[in-house]
Amino acid sequence: MELFKVIFAGRLEFANERTFQRVCTMYEERAEVHYRNQVLLKAEDHFHEEKLCFDLPRKVMESNLRNWNNTIHLLRFISEYAISGEVLAWRTQQGKKLEEVFIEPKGDRDAIQAYQQGRQLEEKGKEKEARAAYSKAIEKFERHAMAYERRGYTNITLKKYADALYDFNKSVGIYPRNPGAYFGIGSIHLLQKEWDKAVEAFTQAHTFSIPHQPLFWKAKRLKGESLMKLERWEEAAKEFKAFVHRKFEPGNTNIKDLPQTWHNYGIVLEKMGDKKGAEEAFKKAREEDESDRKETGAMLENLT
């Protein structure tokens, strides 16, 4: 039977103890009866009564297609009873992503509806209205880590940086492995030129995400830029090298940042005394950038 590498990460929150206990019981029953225990995640490992959540730290394992599908169906089933959170899952083979699954609560409960409305408004660029919708979601369910995270990003757009930092910290206080919130914290520190704090936050962001997520690479790139500001050249070079040698899939938002990152990589290599490596990096920056950056060209001329 063909095997795949599968990855799971996320968390689902339940509104009260009654719902939590019911979902836990249904999960165990369905896993045993409906799926004949051919599932990848055991209830006792992930249901946490004290926090009323299904907690799923990043988990990597081998699986056949049946067990993968059974587990996805079971996660979708319990998400119908959750009030906030998200679960992400990937099925891969030899490093290639074959399937990506995103699961989040759906339904007509006020907290869910307000959060979804916020996402829709945010996508339309209506930041103030989105912020109000996320605030409503938090009012309806105070442990809504995802609403705090998204409200944080609307606050960045609205230049309410102190409010944004508060929201991101609230999010990680509820969900300590939320990479999106750590990325937001790093972005605030970057804007405020607090480079050490930015490095720490971006490190957490890529630690709690995986390479199949664009966020993972965004965090590494911005960590590298923060390290440049601190003149920690070797550490910055490590982050930039990983980024520029990543083969991004078409449409990945990180592709647009390749020219600037090649350019930054050239700068740090030059600072480290690697003239040949810097020259190659500046050439790549010019090749990748359709606008033929004058700054890169000038630095390349100085090296040749």
pLDDT score for 1 = 80
Tens digit of each residue's pLDDT (9 = 90 or more) over 142-162: 999 999 999 999 999 999 999
Please check whether residue 128 lies inside any domain of the structure.
no
Please check whether residue 214 lies inside any domain of the structure.
yes
Q: How far is the C-alpha of 52 from the C-alpha of 76, rounded, in Å? A: 17
Which stretches of the chain drop beneath a pLDDT of 70? 290-304
Please check whether residue 141 lies inside any domain of the structure.
no
Alpha carbons within 13 angstroms on the beta-carbon side of residue 178 total 27
Q: How far is the CA of 79 from the CAs of 20, 27, 100, 112, 137, in angstroms?
A: 11, 11, 17, 12, 17
Tell me the percentage of the chain whose pLDDT exceeds 70: 95
Please check whether residue 34 lies inside any domain of the structure.
yes
Q: How far is the C-alpha of 254 from the C-alpha of 166, rounded, in Å? A: 27
Q: Which domain CATH number covers 288?
A: 1.25.40.10
Rg over alpha carbons for the chain, rounded to the nearest Å, is 22
Q: Which two tokens stand for residue 160?
A: 């309410």
Q: Work out how many domains the chain is built from and give that number.
A: 2
pLDDT score for 302 = 46
Domain hosting residue 270, numbered range: 209-304
Please check whether residue 82 lies inside any domain of the structure.
yes
Of 88, 103, 118, the one marking the end of a domain is: 103
Tens digit of each residue's pLDDT (9 = 90 or more) over 189-222: 999 999 999 999 999 999 999 999 999 999 999 9
Estimate to the nearest angstrom the gap between the alpha carbon of 164 and the chain centroid: 17
Of 35, 69, 103, the one marking the end of a domain is: 103
Please check whether residue 56 lies inside any domain of the structure.
yes
Please check whether residue 291 lies inside any domain of the structure.
yes
Q: Are 65 and 3 in contact (CB under 8 A)?
A: no
Please check whether residue 202 lies inside any domain of the structure.
no
Of 43, 75, 103, the one marking the end of a domain is: 103
What's the pTM value of the predicted model, to 2 decimals? Answer: 0.93
